[in-house]
Copies of this chain bind each other. A is one copy, B any other.
Amino acid sequence: MIIGVVGLGTVGFGTVDILVKEKARLEKEIGEEVKVKYGCSLEDVDLPEGIIYTRDFNDIINDEEVDVVVELIGGVTIAKKIILEALKKGKHVVTANKALLAHDGEELFKCATENNVNLYYEAAVGGGIPVVVPAKESLIANNIYKIEGILNGTTNFILTLMEKENLDFNEALTIADDQGFVEADASLDLDGYDAAHKIKLLAMNAFHIFFDFDKIQLEGIRNVTKKDMDYAKKLGYRIKLIAQAKKLEKGYGLDVAPTLVPINDIVGNVMEAYNVVEITSDYLENVLFYGKGAGRYVTASAVVSDIIKCHDDKKWTYHYEHTDEIYPITYSSYYIRTNKPIDVDYDQYLTLGNDHIYITRAYEKDELLNKLGNQEYHLFKVR
């Protein structure tokens, strides 16, 4: 197995490092040579001996000896070109590029199927946590009908800081940023785009569907206040940024939203930058995968497992259907904070000062918004 790694940043470098350090053990496992032939990057990088450094990814794609191209440069333009060209040359591709796959997955997966090669992306969701492959292979007996998770470590880290250090959103954001937890484009994390990319990949994988990314309704954590967190806690909940995908009677529900999760629930105990994915299906019922969602070696661990997986003769095919029937999941129990009492059926009610806080029975969101009319409110879903 001859490998070319394109992109030698955090994860790319970690991947090369693991492949070199664990070479002997990996080769014993699969009974075949495991060799990184190329490392490609626009910036000069010190590569371990024997690996060819190049600035031109075409050197890799045009080398007939290369079996697997690993795309770790990120972004959606050059990365796409590299992946498509590699697939067309009959090379397997491994990537961690969730944004690209969430936007252009349909084209890319179809290209892989047409060329009878693999396009694996375990590292794109949940960092190193095994979830894409287990959902596809270990759960193959099952019809999956719901996926829920905390898929963005940065926002979970900020929410944890707000709770533990008694901070408001902006104070916590500053600390998270100082500690390097926030990406250059903060909106990706804070407004839910990153979590939405990931839930889209999980939904494609589980439901065998393609759909437009823009169909996913998303809301980030900017509106989560310390006050609402405190009320939620009094009522037995934590606020988490939950990404959800489920089969509806007609079509599929997908959204990303700050959501109250019971503190007694395992998902409610996922703190710091950890991720969790819960999958519900007909035979296995609910199963949950938990671990670190990011980090050089954490993510590289998943990249390496995908690379080694390319050794198998098996090919994943992507004869998925394209659907437009993607809807937000609006039928739910809700947390409402208002400054006047409202007429709703509720499971819990709390009043403090001028605040009235309800955990409602399950409602269609529109019905609640009607009841609220023009008055001020803070509203979150409840899991």
Is chain A's interface secondary structure helix, strand, loop, or mixed overall? mixed
- A269 contacts which chain B residues (CB < 8 A)? 264-266, 269
Alpha-carbon distance between A300 and B130 when the two chains are bound, in angstroms: 21
User: A288, B289: Cβ atoms under 8 Å?
Assistant: yes
User: B141, A283: Cβ atoms under 8 Å?
Assistant: no
Alpha-carbon distance between A18 and B18 when the two chains are bound, in angstroms: 39
User: B140, A134: Cβ atoms under 8 Å?
Assistant: no
User: A304, B140: Cβ atoms under 8 Å?
Assistant: yes
Alpha-carbon distance between A284 and B288 when the two chains are bound, in angstroms: 17
Known: A138-B302, A305-B137. A288 touches B290 (CB 8 A): yes
User: A312, B309: Cβ atoms under 8 Å?
Assistant: no
Contact with B along A274-311 (1 / 0, CB 8 A): 00000001111111111110010110111011001101
A214 within 8 A of B: no
A196 within 8 A of B: no
- A282 contacts which chain B residues (CB < 8 A)? 297
Closest 9 CB pairs of A and B: A130-B138, A141-B304, A287-B291, A283-B297, A288-B290, A283-B301, A284-B301, A128-B284, A130-B134
Interface residue ranges, A against B (CB under 8 Å): 14, 18, 22, 25-26, 29, 122, 128-130, 133-134, 137-143, 264-266, 269-270, 281-292, 295, 297-298, 300-302, 304-305, 308-309, 311-314
